A and B are shown apart, each in its own frame.
Chain A
């Protein structure tokens, strides 16, 4: 919590390590981006090819679920350190949301 001015000089090893790490991160981002574009192509193709809608719907939902995970972990940096608490809250919230929707479906709208 100290606010006295401090100058911090990186060592060579530290500098190289960070450079290497950033390069790796960039590669991951671009790979993920390519995968997501590919997923979108698959989704459009299944519709354009005129498959049965009982095939299309689950395929698109599955792709969507994977995309959400990729988005969170790579573009929103959840794969990095110190994101445990937000991750925990996110999953708990998603679980609650799932329970609420499941209940609404089963006892209000279908029942």
Chain B
């Protein structure tokens, strides 16, 4: 590694990314792959809105419509929102806590490849006999009856992608517990690190129920099991419970990092420390904890009985309290601050009213009697898009602008960024605000078309026009990214000029070992403290300059994942094609032998020597 840096060819760069264990490069791959799936899910959304733009439309058939809505939901949650957030966690969190990488760099790479191949597997269903069509929740009473292989692709694809997410979550937990720089106590961690921590803990507890549910579904559909078949002594409600025990924490896995991103934005651009830091931490942990106590509010109309409904209704409403604390803390962070309205700050300002609207409709649905009226109507669709688009997607778009200079040493155009914001923000409210009223007027969700003259025609058209606005916003963003990448003007560290946490103190482009010397953290917002004291370097160091131990790149995670990908096809066609069983065995053989290679062959990594760090190239 101490050789002279030179420009690499395409093949070498590709190989570098295929084998990399560097959290910054894995972050870029998460961002690209997640962005790609975001666009695919967006196209599916556009198809939905085109179909529903006018009554009695036959743009797509009823069956295809079911496939599109299922894939839209599944793609957006599992393959777009979560991976993009994982990208930002990977890029930012180790830098925020002063670590040289995550705790398990090899597993980090494995997690990414599992997610990507799981996502590809799921999307291959479009070309191999039809996509899943039982909704993103895939309730067993529907999914067991679904013909073709769509649901099989869903179950196996999510199983592979879910393993990747789980590995990623554990990795972040261990990193935050063990790898904080000296002085970085828990109560000095930036809010984005805190929310990453709690979201990872939610992944730790929420994904096993999903894994079990998916295994039951795989066994029922492909291997003759009867877990959900009531005629054989099974129980279809168990899927709903398992799915929502996972599914409700899942939405907090998405929204907590979004809260973290907005907390960073509010403090940076209000140029004030976060108001009520400790209560923000407390609220984050409390939301995470309560998130596991409320899953049955998705099932009020199943017939759980009034006692169960009442308990889950009360638990649900309790979550509004810590969330409200957060909203007030953000408002009070801005209060008296010297506010700079940049693109990320615009998103943060837009987020507060949008998310509060989504939260209020959430509390409305938390009231079980009212939920009987709202259940399965467009009101629900409006609600969850208000929290997920108004919360998570706005946070992702804000973070793209905020962290772009950190990840790529370039600044996205602020002018185009504001155009993106206004198109997306207006389009979002135009699309979803009116859907509340469509729901109250009785329009059910997941219908592929509707009859004219029920009073729904105009509102649906307005909703579709809004969707087009959002698409224009995203297209401007893509254009912005391309232009910025082509221009490639380096901006150096702390481009927003008001960075407060360690990630902004690192020289740009970030060296692959992150910190030449581990920093000493002297309080909340360490970079801000150093700046206030006139420290030009931006960091106080906790150790003398010495050799740095780094992990070697590895191709094994990729091979391991390809094995599971192949095994997936074997399981999918089990009992139908002769080659299925050999393929299943071959796939697992590849995975297990690569695991054996990893276990038996020692890989001690390498050292960057002190002398190399001290010369001008800084070890590169």
Q: Which residues of A contact B (CB under 8 A)?
A: 1-4, 85, 89, 92-93, 96, 99-100, 103-104, 106-108, 111
Docked CA distance A56–B238 (Å): 31
Q: Quick one: given A96-B205, A99-B292, are A104 and B241 in contact (CB under 8 Å)?
A: yes
List residues of B (262-311) whose CB comes within 8 Å of A's CBs. Answer: 289, 292-293, 296, 304-305, 308
Q: Which residues of B contact A103 (CB under 8 A)?
A: 241, 296, 308
Q: Does B9 contact A (CB under 8 A)?
A: no
Can you pick out 13 interface pairs between chain A and chain B where the beta carbons lie within 8 Å of each other?
A1-B100, A1-B518, A2-B547, A3-B547, A3-B548, A85-B177, A89-B204, A96-B205, A96-B292, A100-B209, A107-B296, A108-B235, A108-B238
- Distance between B404 CB and nearest chain A CB, rounded to angstroms: 29
- Distance between B137 CB and nearest chain A CB, rounded to angstroms: 18
Contact with A along B221-246 (1 / 0, CB 8 A): 00000000000000101100100010
Closest 6 CB pairs of A and B: A2-B546, A3-B547, A107-B308, A1-B518, A107-B304, A96-B292
Q: How many residues of B contact A (CB 8 A)?
A: 26
Docked CA distance A4–B549 (Å): 11
A99 near B293: Cβ-Cβ < 8 Å: yes
Q: Does B543 contact A (CB under 8 A)?
A: yes
B237 near A108: Cβ-Cβ < 8 Å: yes
Q: Does B91 contact A (CB under 8 A)?
A: no
Please name the residue on chain B nearest to A1 by beta carbon.
B518
Q: Quick one: given A85-B177, A89-B204, are A106 and B308 in contact (CB under 8 Å)?
A: yes
Q: Quick one: given A1-B543, A3-B607, are A92 and B293 in contact (CB under 8 Å)?
A: no
Docked CA distance A106–B518 (Å): 53
B305 near A111: Cβ-Cβ < 8 Å: yes
Q: Which residues of A contact B583 (CB under 8 A)?
A: none
Q: Which of A2, A85, A92 contacts B543 (CB 8 A)?
A: A2
Docked CA distance A48–B484 (Å): 79
Docked CA distance A36–B520 (Å): 47
Q: Which residues of A contact B235 (CB under 8 A)?
A: 108
Q: Which residues of A contact B292 (CB under 8 A)?
A: 96, 99
Q: Which residues of B contact A107 (CB under 8 A)?
A: 296, 304-305, 308
A92 near B289: Cβ-Cβ < 8 Å: yes
Q: Other CB < 8 Å A-B pairs besides A2-B544, A107-B296, 4 of them? A: A2-B547, A93-B205, A96-B292, A99-B292
- Distance between A81 CB and nearest chain B CB, rounded to angstroms: 15
Q: Which residues of A contact B546 (CB under 8 A)?
A: 1-4
Q: Which residues of B contact A106 (CB under 8 A)?
A: 308
Docked CA distance A96–B241 (Å): 14
- Distance between A85 CB and nearest chain B CB, rounded to angstroms: 5
Docked CA distance A48–B293 (Å): 42
Docked CA distance A103–B240 (Å): 13
Q: Which residues of B contact A85 (CB under 8 A)?
A: 177
Q: Does B201 contact A (CB under 8 A)?
A: yes
Q: Quick one: given A99-B292, A111-B305, are A92 and B205 in contact (CB under 8 Å)?
A: yes
List residues of B (189-241) whose CB comes within 8 Å of A's CBs. Answer: 201, 204-205, 209, 235, 237-238, 241
